[in-house]
Amino acid sequence: MGDLPGYKGRALRFLQAAKASIGDMLEVRTKWGVVTGTLVPRYLYGDGDHVVLKLKSGYNVGLGLDGLDGAAVKAKGEKPSFSPPPPPKSPERLPRVALLGTGGTIASRIDYRTGAVKPAMSESELHSLVPELSGAAKVEAEVMFDILSENVAPRHWGKMAKRVVRAVDEGVDGVVITHGTDTLGYTAAALSFALAGVPVPVVLVGAQRSPDRPSSDAPLNLVAAVSVAGTAKFSGVYVAMHLGESDDKIAFHRGTRVRKNHTSRRDAFVSVGVPLAAVWGRGGLEYVSEGLPPRGGSFSPRPAFAPGAALLKFYPSMPPGAVRSARRLGARIIVVEGTGLGHVSGDVAKELGLFVKSGGVACMTSQCIGGRVDLNVYETGRDLLQAGVVPLDDMLAETALAKAMWVLGTGAKGDRAREMMVHDVAGETTARTFPG
């Protein structure tokens, strides 16, 4: 497609005949008159029957090939270059914060010509998006990868964990990881296990609105994440996102107890079954929960993950073959999201029993999200216990899956793996459930 991205079919031939390239000023002759504008790329899924011009007013319009008589290039276009102003110098005595980019909405900016969203993670780009950062910390930014969070896999968790360990070794005061929000909760849980005991705050941060919009939640989330990572008295892995609809407070959630509970709101993330770890306002931390680990201390990370775990959500009429399929696909630990207190149908329970007998580890969580599983209350539960299914108390299903991949990454299997799944490592289970 050369320099006519997105164009295909008739539209591509029409533009090739006119020797036009993206960015050229074109005069297109239509049945009703001449339209002058800059040729802009077409979206991937656009049809091959329209040519898109950006008018002088800035508007884009699509002109149908059926109504076009021809086109002439009036002036060759110049590619705009992105040259943000240089970042201001941070005072030397500010805390050092490593900012690791992994992709997602938060670290993107729009390409005005194409409308595409591009990564924006260079230091100068970040500072030009969020000038306040320079007052919060000395930020050392690095793009690790640029992937949408639905493409994040255990190997990425491993890389992130290792990079954090290196940053801690290098003496940073805190680490911030920018991440897409879709699987932010999974990654936060995974890093909580791999980095258990980390002596500095590690804050994962995302955005529900991209930074190309004036209303983006990214700047405030980022400022809060960086400032808390650099100065908080506590350590551990957290997720920082808007507390409500307003641009005033940022909630810090514990990495193993956090869940994305809304598709689009700024305050999509909630802490399940535990209070918020901390709340940041424009003046700094306004609330810090009791019992957070202090900064410092020894640290023996285990930053390896292995696939080989599966998450099965039970549903009415689920065929027992689903368990066999998971096993065939290599699952050595299966986390089940059961109904209510942790139940599945008799058929599926039987199949889980066979999986356990064959050396697999089957764990039970609840699709209720709130509350804990209890396999002693109903007969089905007792059958599951009998079959060797391990109840995971009030552990979130997503956290359990990340933990299973971490357990497998340590090389544990069988009874050892079963034990590790139950033993609390990073606050993934709680002893008490509170009203409200």
Partner 1 sequence: MAEELLVGLEIHQQLAIPTKLFCACPPVKSEEFPGKFERRLRPAQSETGHLDPAALFEYSKGKSDLYLWNPESSCLVEADEEPPHPLSAEGLEAALLVAATLKSNCIDEVHVMRKIVIDGSNTGGFQRTAVVGLGGSFDADGERVGVQSITLEEDAARNLGEDGGSRRFALDRLGVALVEIALEPVRGDSAHVGAVALQLGRVLRSTGKAARGLGTIRQDMNVSLGGGRVVEVKGVQKLNLIPKVVEYERRRQSMLRAVAAKLRAKGVRKVACRSMDVTATMARTASPVIKGLVAQGGAVRCISARGLAGLLGWEPEPGVRLGKELAEVARAGSLGGVIHSDEFEKQGVTGPEADALRNAMGCSVEDGLVLVAGRPDSVERVIPVLVSRLEAATEGVPEETRAPTDAGETRYMRPRPGSQRMYPETDIPDIPVPGPLRARVAKAVPEDWESTVRTLESRYSLSSDMALKVYDSDLAAEFVRACGKLRLEPSFVASTLVDLPARLTREGVPEAWCSLPALMAALEAVDGGKAAKEAVPEILRSAGEMGVSVGELLASTGREVLDEAHVAAVVEAVVSRESALIAERGDAAFSPLMGEVMKELRGKADGSLVARMLHQKVSEAAKNAGRSG
Q: Which residues sit at the interface with partner 1, rule CB under 8 A?
A: 30, 32-33, 35, 43, 45-47, 49-50, 52, 55-64, 66-67, 80-85, 109-113, 115-117, 128-129, 208-209, 211-216, 219-220, 244-248, 263-266
Q: How far is the CB of 366 from partner 1 (least distance, A)?
A: 28
User: Which of 38, 102, 105, 365 is flagged as catalytic?
Assistant: 105
Q: Which is nearer to partner 1, 247 or 347 (CB)?
A: 247
Distances (CA, A) of 73 to 10, 11, 15, 113, 209: 18, 15, 10, 18, 37
Q: Which is nearer to partner 1, 67 or 370 (CB)?
A: 67
Q: How far is the CB of 62 from partner 1 (least distance, A)?
A: 3
Coil, strand, or helix at residue 327?
helix
Active site residue 410: no
Which residues on neighbouring strands pair with residue 37, listed in sequence order?
Answer: 26
Amino acid found at 340: G
CA max distance for the chain: 80
For the CA atoms of 389, 393, 399, 404, the dihedral, rounded to the nearest 10 degrees, stands at: -30
User: Which of 102, 181, 183, 256 is flagged as catalytic?
Assistant: 181
245 contacts 265 by C-beta, under 8 angstroms: yes
* Spatial CA neighbour of 398 closest among 337, 329, 308: 337
Backbone angles phi, psi at 110, to 5 degrees: -90, 145
Q: How far is the CB of 58 from partner 1 (least distance, A)?
A: 3
Q: Which is nearer to partner 1, 134 or 208 (CB)?
A: 208
Q: Tokens 């507390």, residue?
A: 243
Backbone angles phi, psi at 397, to 5 degrees: -60, -40
Q: How far is the CB of 46 from partner 1 (least distance, A)?
A: 6
Angle subtended by helix axes 397-409 and 184-194, to nearest 10: 40
Active site residue 182: yes
Distances (CA, A) of 156 to 26, 148, 150, 291, 432: 45, 12, 12, 30, 33
Q: Which is nearer to partner 1, 214 or 436 (CB)?
A: 214
Active site residue 433: no
Q: Which is nearer to partner 1, 125 or 173 (CB)?
A: 125
Active site residue 66: no
Q: How far is the CB of 50 from partner 1 (least distance, A)?
A: 5
Instruction: Measure the CA angle with vertex 366, ends 362 and 367; round to 5°.
Output: 120
Between strands 96-101 and 138-143, the pairing is: parallel
Residues 6+ apart with CB under 8 A from 156: 102, 145, 147, 187
39 contacts 23 by C-beta, under 8 angstroms: yes
Q: Which is nearer to partner 1, 264 or 358 (CB)?
A: 264
- What distance in Å separates the CA atoms of residue 11 and residue 214, rounded to the nearest whole number? 34
User: Which of 3, 182, 247, 374 is flagged as catalytic?
Assistant: 182
Q: How far is the CB of 152 from partner 1 (least distance, A)?
A: 22
Q: How far is the CB of 228 from partner 1 (least distance, A)?
A: 19
Q: Which is nearer to partner 1, 279 or 387 (CB)?
A: 279
Coil, strand, or helix at residue 410?
coil
Catalytic sites, residue numbers: 105, 181-182, 260
